Structure 1
Amino acid sequence: MTWQTNLQGRIGVAQDGAFGVKSFTTLFQKLGASKDRAEELAIGAAVHLPAYGIMDSAQRLAHFLAQVGHESGSFKYMEEIASGSAYEGRANLGNTQLGDGVRFKGRGPIQITGRANYRFFGRQIGIDLERRPEIAAYPSIGMHLACAYWSNRNLNGLADKDLLEDITRKINGGLNGLADRKSRLVAMKGLVA
C-alpha cells in the first residue's frame, strides 16, 4: 500500500491508489470546505498537485495542506475577509495605482496578494488576473495559483526538509499564524502519513 492508498482509507473512500477528484473532494470536506467548494477545489487539485510535484510525498502534501488550510480558514474563504486597504500603496506588492490594495487583496487558498503577484502568477497559469483579479477566488483557479506559487517559491524542497518556518515566511512574509500552521501540520502529517 502507498501513502496515498492509506490516506484514502483514512478519509473513507475506495483505496484504489488513484487519488483523483473524488478523493480530493472528500479530503477537502474533511478539512472544512463545503461540499460545493470541496468539489471545485478538487478539480484543480487533481490536476495541479501531481503536476507540481506536491503529491510526490506525504510530507509535501502535509505542508501544502497545512499552509493553504491556514491561509483560507480551513477552505472557508477564497477571498480575504478584510477590505485589502492595508495593502494600498505597497510598492513591494506592485500596488502602485490608487485602489490596488482593495482590488488585489488576498484570494484563493494561498491568498495571493498584490498587483505584481496577480500579474506574474496569472501569466504563469495563462489567465489575465491583473485585468480580472476577482477570478483568483474561484476555487479551481485559486488552487492552480496556489500550486504555481508553491512551485515558484521552491516550497517542495523546503517541505522535504520539514522547514515549516521557512515555508511560512515565503508565503506570509513573516511568521503570522505560526502556532496554527504548526498545529495544522501535525494534524496533516497524522492524516497523510
Structure 2
Amino acid sequence: MITPALIRVLVPRHPTSDVTAEKAQRAADLFGITDPKSVAAWLANMTVEAGIQPKREDLFYTTAQRLRTVWPSRFDPQHGGRHDPNAYLRNPEKLANLVYAGRLGNGDVASGDGWAFRGWGHLQITGRANTLAVERAVDLPLTAQPELLEQIGVGLLGGAYYWVRMSAANRLATAGNIRETRRAVNGPAMLHADEMVALYHRALPYLT
C-alpha cells in the first residue's frame, strides 16, 4: 500500500523513499493503520511534521520575541515567565532542558531529559514518559539509548504507535474527520492544517 512513489508524491526529493516506504508499511501493519483514509492522513501529518524523516527537534531560536511567543510561561513576564530569553538564543540544548524540565515525565533542568527526549521521529514525540510508552510497545531500549530515536524504522514505529494508541488520530481519520487529526498530533494550534489536508488529498488516490 505504501510505496516509494507515494512517499515521493508527498516529499518529491525524499532521500530514503525506498527504505521509508518499506518501514512505514511495516509500522502501519504492526499497529493496524489499514484504512486508506488513515494511512493517507498519517503520511500527510508526518510530512508536515518532519518531511517523513526521523528528525529531532532542534529548538534553535534567534530572537527573544519568538521565545516569548512560543514559550510564554518561561520567558514572558505577563504569563509568569521569569527567564531571560537572551540567555537561551542559539543554544538548543540549554533551551530544551529548560522548557521541557519537569514535564512529560522529564526530570529537572540538570537531568538533561529535556534535550535527550526533545521531539523525535516522524511525529515529533516528546518527553521521557511518552518515549517510555513507545519503548514498551516496540521492545527497544529507547530511554537508555536516545540515539535510536534518529533511526528511520524507530521513528516510524513511534509515529504509528502515537497515531493509534496515544491519540485519537486513527479513529478520527477512519471516520473521515481528517482535519481534526491535525489537532490530535499538533494540539490546539493545529499548525499547517490546511497543508496537511491538501497533502492528504494528494496521497489518497494512491491508496484507493
What TM-score results when the alignment is normalised by the length of structure 2? Answer: 0.70
Which residue in the other structure is 2:183 paired with?
169
The residue aligned with 1:71 is 49
Report how far residue 119 of structure 1 moved. Answer: 1.0
Query: Where do 5+ consecutive residues of structure 2 fail to align?
Result: 60-91
C-alpha RMSD of matched pairs (Å): 2.3
**Cα distance, 1:31 vs. partner?**
2.4
Equivalence for 1:24: 3
Contact kept? 1:112, 1:118, Cα under 8 Å: yes
Aligned to 2:196: 181
Correspondence for 2:148 among 128, 135, 153: 135
> Which amino acid letter does the alignment assign opposite residue 37 of structure 1?
T
Measure the CA separation in 2 of the matches of 1:69 and 1:35: 10
Matched, 1:107 2:120: yes
Deviation at 1:158, TM superposition (A): 0.8
Contact 2:53 2:121 in 1 (8 A): no
My pick for the range that moved more, 177-186 or 143-152, is 177-186
Q: Is the 8 A contact 2:43 2:52 kept in 1?
A: no
For the pair 1:95 / 2:106, whether they are aligned, the reply is yes
Relative contact order, CA 8 A, sep 6+: which one is greater? 2
Letter in 2 for 1:94: G
Q: How does the TM-score come out when normalised to structure 1? A: 0.75
SS of corresponding position for 2:144: coil
Q: 2 CA distance for matches of 1:180 and 1:135?
A: 29
1:139-178 CA distance string (max 9 Å, x none): 1111111111111024221111222343222212221222
Q: Which amino acid aligns with 1:65?
A: L
Structure 1: how far apart are the matches of 2:202 and 2:10? 10
Shift of 1:40: 2.9
Q: For residues 27 and 154 of structure 2, what CA distance do their matches in structure 1 show?
A: 10
State the match for 2:74 in structure 1.
none
> Larger radius of gyration, structure 1 or 2?
2
The separation in 2 between residues aligned to 1:181 and 1:132, in whole angstroms, is: 32
Change (3 A) 1:154 1:133: same
Equivalent residue pairs, number: 169
